[in-house]
Structure 1
Amino acid sequence: MSQQAEVPRRVRLNRERVLEAAVTLADEIGIDALSMRRLAQELDVVPMALYKHVADKEDLLDGMVEAIIREIDPPVLDAGWRDAIRGRVLSARSAFRRHRWARQAIESRSNPTPAVLEYQDSFAGIFLAGGFTPDLAHHVMHALGGRMWGFTQELFDGSANPKADAQPVATPESQAQMFAHMAVLYPNIVTIATATPHDDKSVVGHGCDDQFEFEFALDLLLDGFERLHRRGWTSAR
């Protein structure tokens, strides 16, 4: 009696598995290359099988954003408002650095999903629980802006220039010549640009220490929020 070859059982799909696979695939190929067809190939199913779990590409992206938000540490309730906000922002930053496409995805959402609203609501709740008036909490949320998600839109952000990544890496000699030329035209910029050690992989500004600059600005904002809170600040004119 011949023994029948075992056929590997296909893993049953559900929304969570589809989103998990989509996040992993986006990590590999980027959000622009992600498609329902490409995701179906990754899961070894026909594209139509995905539509039982996600309505369309927009619903898929909404779900992927929610999956990333779930990776962010919850607020530490027994910490002060400052430590709770700082910890959550830096946790968000870590999540978005693991998934480089996530910033583009969240900025492309025209309508905030429940997970996004819950995340924003948690920040407002931390400020209010810390004794901030609703008026002050409103304005500090505006000031915090994209830092809530662990990123900023910087003046010298390379994403503003799509050709930035295509620029050849400058040699030490060419960099020295460039700085010498700029020192004549823009002496103040060169003075501050050469004042601290630099990180060549920075997105804040070429050569800047990305993580340091982010935390510096975050702490500056938090210090300002605390001073306003202690003064009983109000927006009433």
Structure 2
Amino acid sequence: MPRRADDRSATRAPARLSRETIVAAAIDLADRDGLAGLSMRRLAQHLGVDAMSIYYHLRDKDTLLAAMVDAVAAEIETEAGVEAAIMGGGTAAGVEAAGNGPWTDQLRALITRARRTMLRHPWAARVLEARDTPTPAVLRHIERVLAVMRGGGCSVSLSHHALHLLGSRILGFSQDLFDDSPNTAPTGEAAAAQAAAWAETMPHIAELAAAVAHSGALGGCDDEDEFAFALDLLIEGLDRRRLAERG
């Protein structure tokens, strides 16, 4: 009995499968459904292949997630290259290291590109937070950050301090101490009761909770204004310290 056309397509699919196509499909799924909607089984269904075909290229889900965030981090460099072409040529690395404008502006632009990338893939911030080691693309991004600072006259020591100070912000998101996103906050009567209890014993926390919003795109308080405020404050402080070091 002859196979149907879709049967033949499913049979041929594994031959076309590659690590890159799997990772790209996984990113599409995560962008659409979040990490909760990503599983090896759903990914296989999305690709029209058997799940074992995926394990041939990526041994487990942790390996898949690492490959996904590496691909996302690589987009930061790609975006820089696109901007370089728009501005009239040059390499992606050259945009940050060639001295176009003050180093503070170059660093702010590089981190802003990283944030735009993270906003396209909001799930990636949580995966990066959970990792103990950087991926190759993340290391390349850190190299570009260091190139900007060293090219702007920051010492090795100040550049080192800056990496710790900026933390996850060099990748475009703020890593908060607590998860204060809207889905974790109490509502209705529970929220009113909590506010009343805080008002009696912790009035400043109660005041803050009532005054600020917790609706950031990449975390509870990680909205555009909060991110820009923190970034400006940190970069301005680093530049003052750089000037102080030079006497």
TM-score of the alignment, normalized to the shorter chain, above 0.5: yes
Change (3 A) 1:45 1:165: same
1:45 aligned onto 2:32: no
Structure 1 residue runs of 4 or more that deviate by more than 3 Å after TM superposition: 4-11, 166-171, 177-195, 202-206
Instruction: Structure 1: give runs of 5+ residues left out of the alignment.
Output: none
Q: Secondary structure at the match of 1:42?
A: helix
Work out which of the residue numbers 151, 155, 168 in structure 2 matches 1:129. Answer: 151
1:202 aligned onto 2:216: yes
Map residues 150-161 of structure 1 onto 2, 5 A cutoff: 150-155=172-177, 157-158=179-180
Change (3 A) 1:180 1:58: closer
- How much does 1:154 deviate? 2.5
- Is the CA contact (8 Å cut-off) linking 2:119 and 2:218 kept in structure 1? no
- Is the CA contact (8 Å cut-off) linking 1:81 and 1:130 kept in structure 2? yes
Give the structure with the larger helix fraction: 2
Tell me how large the CA RMSD over aligned residues is: 3.3
1:66, 1:146 → 2: CA distance?
15
Map residues 1-237 of structure 1 onto 2, 5 A cutoff: 9=9, 12-72=16-76, 73-74=79-80, 76-77=95-96, 78-155=100-177, 157-158=179-180, 165=183, 167=185, 169-170=187-188, 185-189=201-205, 199=213, 201-202=215-216, 210-232=223-245
Aligned length: 221
1:204, 1:98 → 2: CA distance?
10
Task: State TM-score, norm by structure 1.
Answer: 0.76
State the one-letter code of the partner of 2:129: E
Q: Aligned residues: percent identity?
A: 40
State the one-letter code of the partner of 1:103: A
Q: Secondary structure at the match of 1:153?
A: coil
- How much does 1:216 deviate? 0.5
Instruction: Structure 2: give runs of 5+ residues left out of the alignment.
Output: 81-92
- Is the CA contact (8 Å cut-off) linking 1:93 and 1:151 kept in structure 2? yes
Change (3 A) 1:186 1:55: closer
CA displacement 1:40-95 (0-9 Å, x = unmatched)? 11101011211333233222112101111122233633243211211122222222
2:206, 2:117 → 1: CA distance?
33
Change (3 A) 1:18 1:183: same
2:133, 2:157 → 1: CA distance?
24
Task: State TM-score, norm by structure 2.
Answer: 0.74
